[in-house]
Amino acid sequence: MIVAKFGGSSMADADQLKKVKAILNSDSNRQVAVVSAAGKGIHNPVKLTDQLIHIYDLIQAGKDFSNALNEVWQRLDAVVEALDLDFPIHEELSNISKQINQLSYAELVSRGEYLTAHLLASYLKWPMIDAADFLVINSGQIDYQASKQRLMNITKHIEHCVIPGFYGVNAAGKIELLPRGGGDTSGAVVSNLVNAACYENWTDTNGILAVDPRIVDQPTKVNILSYDELQELSYLGVKVFNEEAVQPVRMKQIPIRIMNTNRPELGGTFVVTDKNSVDYKPEVAGIAGKQDQVILTVKQYQLSSHVDSVIALIRLVNNFHLKSTYSLSGDSISFVLSGVDEQKDIQDLVNQINANVNPDNIHVTERIAKVAVVSEAFCNRPRLVGKMIELLEANSIPVQQVIQTSDDIKVVFGVANADYQRAIECLYHEFFRKANVRSMVAVNS
Ligand SMILES: Nc1ncnc2c1ncn2[C@@H]1O[C@H](COP(=O)(O)OP(=O)(O)O)[C@@H](O)[C@H]1O
Ligand SMILES: N[C@@H](CC(=O)OP(=O)(O)O)C(=O)O
């Protein structure tokens, strides 16, 4: 059995739903479709989820929300009309309208996936199984045992179904949302619950691309990834696959395929349980990054042997809820921090470190971009990092910091914000464009 998750871009309008139907019908193993709320598309510049959040905000502010609500209704109605569905959309919408002032944030926002799933189910003539009837989420944690039991009870005699992603139900019986982008996690959890042979994730790019397509025009697609590589790239912000969606499928060693709903023939990115079983292994799996990072280096004589100080430092950084990567050497620890909005934050953190750990020295470098290269090859190609630094410096991009994680899967280079784009282009050119030419020459000779 294949679980196919379709992201918002695949559910954006009637034309997209036609493509989804063709994909599902082209393989009889695709028995479960997990869907996100209608996303951005040619006719709709705003995601349905964001439209519903806007309505909730208007209600809370006591403002008129009738126009915003009308836009949502028209959008959904247009799909029903175009596909000639017999789903009672007006009844559903008027039920929601009647109680809209009493709905919680999660109840209102989850109606995006709920209604979108109903539209697809009606189009396919498959049953729709509401995630609120089986997916148990307590404070963000999935209860696999309870969810499996409930799902098995519902699906005993069902061959196909459509399931809305992004939400479930908590112990108190209330709708609970996953974090934004959580549709990927729903698809992964359902794959786990039904022991899927494959988890397909359908989106609007040709798979995982070697770099963000907003930085490099039409980057090459990555054909094969390991779970670790995918997890790292997702953690680094490769938006196409949610970081939290890796673990549920990894637990059961279910392969993942990330594919383009608009170009299914391209085959997408395949995430395999054992990358060693595959012949073609490029040096680098992907490149990702972010600007406006802060590097915080704390120096103290023989720091690495003072475990209490190291733990205290990590805890202090965590208390600030900043996303961080760190590397520890004999006398110092360096953190690359994301999400530092205010100068005040960093000063508070420095003050707390001084008060609690009293180190020899603290050094802060701001306006840094992190450029992260993900590759399983780092562990057996130790000179690869040096080659990358030489390449950047030969292109007049000074590398201010290098952090290599202890699992040898990722190297993060700190460069000036102004050099961000060029650093990514330069690494991409060397490890993907030139590598492609090299492999073509090898094949042809
Ligand atoms: N390395 C990358 N590979 C593929 N897509 C990426 C990458 N980095 C950023 N993206 C962006 O992620 C988007 C897809 O993610 P998302 O909007 O969540 O899709 P969906 O609506 O299908 O769930 C792409 O349109 C692309 O702009
Ligand atoms: N609709 C939700 C959940 C989701 O995963 O959407 P998408 O698959 O379009 O990223 C959101 O916008 O966050």
Spell out the domains of the chain, with CATH numbers in brackets: 2-277 (3.40.1160.10), 286-444 (3.30.2130.10)
Residue 231 CA to ligand 1 center (angstroms) comes to 15
**Residue whose C-alpha is closest to residue 21's, from 92, 93, 112, 122:** 122
For residue 202, give the ligand nearest its CA. Answer: 1
Nearest atom of ligand 2 to the alpha carbon of 181: 5
In angstroms, rounded to a whole number, what is the distance separating the alpha carbons of residues 436 and 428? 11
Residue 239 CA to ligand 1 center (angstroms) comes to 5
The pLDDT value given to residue 310 = 95
The pLDDT value given to residue 437 = 53
Give the residue carrying structure tokens 């990894």: 250
User: What is the biggest distance separating any 2 CA atoms in the chain, rounded to whole angstroms?
Assistant: 73
The pLDDT value given to residue 442 = 44
Backbone angles phi, psi at 260, to 5 degrees: -95, 120
Would you give the DSSP letter of residue 214?
T
Residue 352 CA to ligand 1 center (angstroms) comes to 38
Nearest atom of ligand 2 to the alpha carbon of 185: 5
C-alpha angle with apex 64: 60 to 66, nearest 5 degrees?
Answer: 115
Residue 36 CA to ligand 2 center (angstroms) comes to 5
Amino acid, res. 66: S
Residue 176 CA to ligand 2 center (angstroms) comes to 15
Burial class (CB in 10 A: 0-12, 13-18, 19+), 406: exposed
Residue 59 CA to ligand 1 center (angstroms) comes to 31
Exposure on the CB side of residue 192, measured as CA atoms within 13 A: 22
The answer to whether residues 164 and 126 touch, using CB atoms and an 8 Å cutoff, is no
Helix (H) or strand (E) holding 334: strand 332-338
**Tens digits of pLDDT across the chain (445 residues):** 999 999 999 999 999 999 999 999 999 999 999 999 999 998 899 999 999 999 999 999 999 999 999 999 999 999 999 999 999 999 999 999 999 999 999 999 999 999 999 999 999 999 999 999 999 999 899 999 999 999 999 988 889 999 999 999 999 999 999 999 999 999 999 999 999 999 999 999 999 999 999 999 999 999 999 898 898 898 888 888 999 999 999 999 999 999 999 999 999 999 987 766 666 566 788 999 989 889 899 999 999 999 999 999 999 998 888 778 888 888 999 988 887 776 667 899 999 999 999 999 999 988 899 999 998 877 777 788 889 999 999 999 999 888 877 677 888 899 999 999 999 999 999 988 766 654 544 444 4
β-strand partners of 240? none
CA-proximal residue: ligand 2, atom 6 (nearest): 181
Nearest atom of ligand 1 to the alpha carbon of 286: 1
Q: How far is CA 154 from CA 36, 52, 147, 389, 438, in A?
A: 21, 29, 11, 56, 53
Q: How far is CA 335 from CA 151, 276, 399, in A?
A: 43, 32, 16
β-strand partners of 411? 373, 404
Residues in the chain, overall count:
445
Best of 232, 240, 431 for a ligand 1 pocket test (most atoms within 8 Å of beta carbon): 240
Q: How many CB atoms lie within 10 A of CB 278?
A: 12
The pLDDT value given to residue 197 = 97
Sequence-separated (6 or more) residues with CB below 8 Å from residue 126: 33, 120, 160, 161, 162
In angstroms, rounded to a whole number, what is the distance separating the alpha carbons of residues 35 and 187? 8
β-strand partners of 401? 414
**Ligand 1 first shell, C-beta below 6 A:** 7-10, 36, 39, 181, 203-205, 208-209, 211-213, 238-240
For residue 183, give the ligand nearest its CA. Answer: 2
* DSSP-derived pairing of the beta strands 2-6 and 198-203: parallel
In angstroms, rounded to a whole number, what is the distance separating the alpha carbons of residues 281 and 379? 14
Instruction: Label residues 344-365 b or e (16+ Cβ within 10 Å = b).
Output: ebbeebbebbeeebebeebebb
The pLDDT value given to residue 361 = 94
Amino acid, res. 281: K
Determine the distance from the C-alpha atom of residue 219 to the mean position of all C-alpha atoms in its chain, rounded to a whole number: 19
Q: How many CB atoms lie within 10 A of CB 431?
A: 23
**Ligand 2 first shell, C-beta below 6 A:** 7-8, 36-37, 39, 47, 49, 112, 165-166, 180-184
Residue 204 CA to ligand 1 center (angstroms) comes to 7
Sequence-separated (6 or more) residues with CB below 8 Å from residue 264: 19, 23, 26
The pLDDT value given to residue 343 = 66
Q: How many CB atoms lie within 10 A of CB 100?
A: 16
